[in-house]
Amino acid sequence: MAQAFAKSFYESNTWKRCRNAFMKSQLYSCARCGDAAVIAHHIVPITMENINNPAITLNWDNLEALCTKCHNAVHGGAATANGVSFDANGNIICMDTPPM
């Protein structure tokens, strides 16, 4: 999940408009592998210190369109537990895993 300090930012209409316009400009294509991009990834991560800085949070030069697989790799790849992934906002989500 998003850090508590960033939750309201990721739920804001300003972010949603920025993210949607950016992803459309990138033709929803992953910058790393070319697959379908679903996440606007912040290259310089959002922190408590920069959450109110639009040059970090809303600047297209700080965004990268990524597919789920590439975004997971950026955030630890193999270290990501089974059944855990990231949503379109970069929040960690737990997915149902089939019983063994």
Which residues lie below 8 Å from residue 76, measured CB to CB, with a gap of 6+? none
Question: Whose structure tokens read 């999940």?
Answer: 1
The 10s digit of each residue's pLDDT in 6-53 is 999 999 999 999 999 999 999 999 999 999 999 999 999 999 999 999
**pTM of the shown model:** 0.74
Asked if 72 contacts 39 with a C-beta cutoff of 8 angstroms, the reply is no
pLDDT at 1 over 80: no
Q: What is the pLDDT of residue 99?
A: 42
Alpha carbon distance 63, 37 (integer Å): 12
Q: What is the pLDDT of residue 43?
A: 95
Q: What is the pLDDT of residue 90?
A: 62
Q: What is the pLDDT of residue 97?
A: 42
Band of the pLDDT at 76, cuts 50, 70, 90? confident
Using DSSP's 3-state secondary structure scheme, residue 81 falls into: coil
79 to each of 24, 60, 68, 75, 76, how far by Cα in Å?
Answer: 30, 28, 15, 8, 5
β partners of residue 8:
none
43 to each of 47, 56, 69, 94, 100, how far by Cα in Å?
Answer: 12, 9, 16, 23, 37
Q: What is the pLDDT of residue 31?
A: 97
